[in-house]
């Protein structure tokens, strides 16, 4: 069964600190993995995309890693800001269907305190 599991479920950190969010997936055949940020009351917005051959990709203070062998990904946030408070969702796409089906994790709810 294609699944995406994220940990931790929630996380509280102080402003300026770093944190790492985890994503494990069983989706096959794998096409790509995206990390989305979803602010409260808003739709998700894509932060990074990782394809099979990519190990690391950065977008400002966000750095995503992918280990396609172990089917794990992480999202590292550096020097957190209050605006980073949001839900971070790991989304894996398969290439076995015309639709390009997406499989969503439940998200990690990050709260950054001043």
Partner 1 sequence: EADIYQTPRYLVIGTGKKITLECSQTMGHDKMYWYQQDPGMELHLIHYSYGVNSTEKGDLSSESTVSRIRTEHFPLTLESARPSHTSQYLCASNRNGASGEQFFGPGTRLTVL
To the nearest whole angstrom, how small is the minimum distance from the Cβ of residue 72 to partner 1? 18
Report how far residue 32's alpha carbon sits from residue 14's, in angstroms, rounded to the nearest whole number.
31
To the nearest whole angstrom, how small is the minimum distance from the Cβ of residue 88 to partner 1? 13
Q: Is the peptide bond before 8 cis (omega within 30 degrees of 0)?
A: yes
To the nearest whole angstrom, how small is the minimum distance from the Cβ of residue 106 to partner 1? 5
CB 94 within 8 A of CB 101: yes
Which is closer to partner 1, CB of 7 or CB of 51? 51
Q: Is the peptide bond before 99 cis (omega within 30 degrees of 0)?
A: no
Residues binding partner 1 (CB under 8 A): 4, 9, 31-32, 34, 41-46, 49, 51, 89, 93, 95, 97-102, 104-107, 109
To the nearest whole angstrom, how small is the minimum distance from the Cβ of residue 83 to partner 1? 15
Report how far residue 87's alpha carbon sits from residue 111's, in angstroms, rounded to the nearest whole number.
9
The alpha carbons of the chain give a radius of gyration, in whole angstroms, of: 14
Which is closer to partner 1, CB of 17 or CB of 104? 104
């Amino acid at each position: 069964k294609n699944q995406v599991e994220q940990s931790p479920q929630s996380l509280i950190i102080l402003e300026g600190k770093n944190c790492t969010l985890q994503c494990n997936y069983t989706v096959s055949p794998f096409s790509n993995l995206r990390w989305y940020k979803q602010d409260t009351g808003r739709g998700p917005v894509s932060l990074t995309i990782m394809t099979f051959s990519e190990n690391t990709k950065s977008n400002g203070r966000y750095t995503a890693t992918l280990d396609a062998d172990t089917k794990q990904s992480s999202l590292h946030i550096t020097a957190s800001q209050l605006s980073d408070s949001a839900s971070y969702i790991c989304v894996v796409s398969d290439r076995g269907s015309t639709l390009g089906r997406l499989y969503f994790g439940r998200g990690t709810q990050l709260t950054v305190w001043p």
